[in-house]
């Protein structure tokens, strides 16, 4: 049996439950609750967060393909950010001891420790959390176009691959249509 290329929601909930602090919880929510690439998340500054509109601005210097974009922050993500930042309004979202920001490898070490503590036997990595976000979005009826914008894909064909991973969205779509009723 092939391992799923995304986490089930209950697996993500286990990760959040065992996270040792608000920083780890926020890190998980930024990857699996926003769908950021790990390099984008490492480069986020607190000033990029727009709490009033629940947006995060990704400057082109931090985005793949040098294309800036604005992503949606769900209420759970905003809560995780507010709790973690505790009023801090400037600087790197995830600062390192050296004074710059955490790097992708450091993020992977943190996720490895969390997944081991959660008892998840397969390898959990930042891109798996991004894939999970995309699959969950499709399953909950987010349009492929909106998902494409959130993920920063230049081609909708890249985003469309998530439709195969979440076939239940088709059932919901047909049921909502009321075609034969």
In the residue annotation, 88 being an active-site residue is answered as no
- Kindly name the residue from 14, 25, 131, 153 that is annotated as catalytic: 153
User: If you ran DSSP here, which 8-state letter would residue 115 be given?
Assistant: H
Active-site pick, 14, 23, 25, 37: 37
Catalytic residue among 23, 69, 101, 162: 162
**Residue in 69, 130, 131, 169 annotated catalytic:** 130
Active site residue 127: yes
Active site residue 64: yes
Residue among 75, 64, 87, 3 nearest 34 (CA):
75
Please name which of 45, 87, 37, 90 lies closest in space to residue 65, comparing C-alpha atoms.
37
Catalytic residue among 127, 140, 145, 170: 127
Active site residue 117: no
First to last CA, the chain: 38
The question of whether 140 is a catalytic residue gets the answer no
The question of whether 109 is a catalytic residue gets the answer: no
Give the integer Cα–Cα distance in Å for 159 and 181: 31
Distance CA 4, CA 92 (A): 33
List of long-range contacts for 115-118, beta carbons under 8 Å, 24+ apart:
115/15, 117/18, 117/20, 118/11, 118/14, 118/15, 118/17, 118/18
Which of 57, 64, 82, 117 is catalytic? The answer is: 64
User: Which positions are annotated as active-site residues?
Assistant: 37, 64, 127, 130, 153, 162
């Amino acid at each position: 049996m092939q391992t799923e290329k995304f986490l089930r929601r209950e697996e993500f909930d286990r990760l959040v439950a065992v996270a040792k602090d608000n920083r780890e919880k926020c890190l998980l929510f930024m990857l699996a609750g926003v769908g950021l690439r790990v390099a984008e998340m490492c480069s986020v500054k607190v000033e990029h967060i727009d709490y009033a509109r629940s947006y995060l601005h990704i400057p082109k210097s931090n985005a793949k393909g040098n294309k800036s974009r604005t992503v949606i922050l769900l209420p759970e993500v905003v809560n995780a950010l507010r709790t973690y930042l505790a009023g801090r309004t400037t600087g790197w979202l995830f600062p390192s001891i050296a004074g710059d920001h955490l790097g992708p490898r450091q993020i992977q070490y943190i996720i490895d420790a969390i997944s081991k503590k959660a008892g998840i036997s397969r390898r959990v990595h930042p891109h798996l959390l991004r894939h999970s976000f995309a699959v969950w979005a499709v399953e909950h009826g987010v349009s492929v176009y909106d998902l494409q914008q959130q993920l920063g894909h230049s081609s909708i064909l890249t985003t469309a691959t998530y439709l195969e991973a979440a076939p239940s969205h088709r059932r919901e779509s047909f049921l909502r249509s009321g075609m034969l009723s």
